Structure 1
């Protein structure tokens, strides 16, 4: 059983993002990936009227992987019982506002994601 937590911290460089995935089960879990990208971070406006709806899922204001190149090779990571892995990214120079950030593993065989809200001054 995989559990995910996402932290978003405003810094001088922008918003530092950290996705932590922990194996809370008793058996190892292997995450399979199609590319070198291990996690995706996506920012949406945190509009109270649309948060959590399908509409705001289609209109991100920023996506970490957009415009980036990753190795085109299959890969995997195994997380042992009680162990965790972490993936980080930085959203540079976001506009002021409140955003809902979604962090998710790009694994093909497990849907692992977490959300948080961050206010950018």
Structure 2
């Protein structure tokens, strides 16, 4: 079983994001990826969702980390042993002022893990 947590911080170039995925189970978990992208992040206007609610609803994101980016087209795997974690990072460059719900999600083929954080940009 995978658990996810999303940390945010003000960075020099925008909002720094870190999705940490932890194997909470008793057996190793192998994550299979179709590309070099390991996680995606999306920001939605408003903070209507409860913390930890990773479902963005029907609204379109104001920003998505993977949009317009090119990732290597090589298959890849990572294995997390029991209790092990992996952290995937991204930066939301120059976000507009406002309050946002940011969702970080793992892009592995057979495993879902996502987390939500609230971000206020001044």
Residues 71 and 20 of structure 1, relative CA distance in 2, 3 Å threshold: same
Tell me the SS of whatever aligns to 2:58.
helix
What TM-score comes out, normalization by structure 2 length?
0.91
How far apart in 2 are the matches of 1:75 and 1:86? Answer: 16
Task: Show the 5 A alignment for 1:94-109.
Answer: 94-109=95-110
| Partner residue in 1 for 2:58 | 55
Distance 1:108 1:53, change over 3 A: closer
Q: Following TM superposition, by how much is the alpha carbon of 1:67 offset from its aligned partner in structure 2, in angstroms?
A: 1.1
Aligned equivalents of 2:88, 2:14: Cα separation in 1: 17
Structure 1 residues 12-63: Cα deviation after superposition (integer angstroms, max 9, x where no partner): 31100000000111100011110110000000001539x956222xx10000
Unmatched segments (≥5 aa) in structure 2: none
CA change 1:85–1:54 in 2 (3 A) is same
Unaligned 5+ residue runs, structure 1? none
Partner of residue 121, structure 2 = 120
Aligned partner of 2:17 in structure 1 is: 17
Structure 1 partner of 2:91: 90
Aligned length: 118
Distance 1:103 1:95, change over 3 A: same
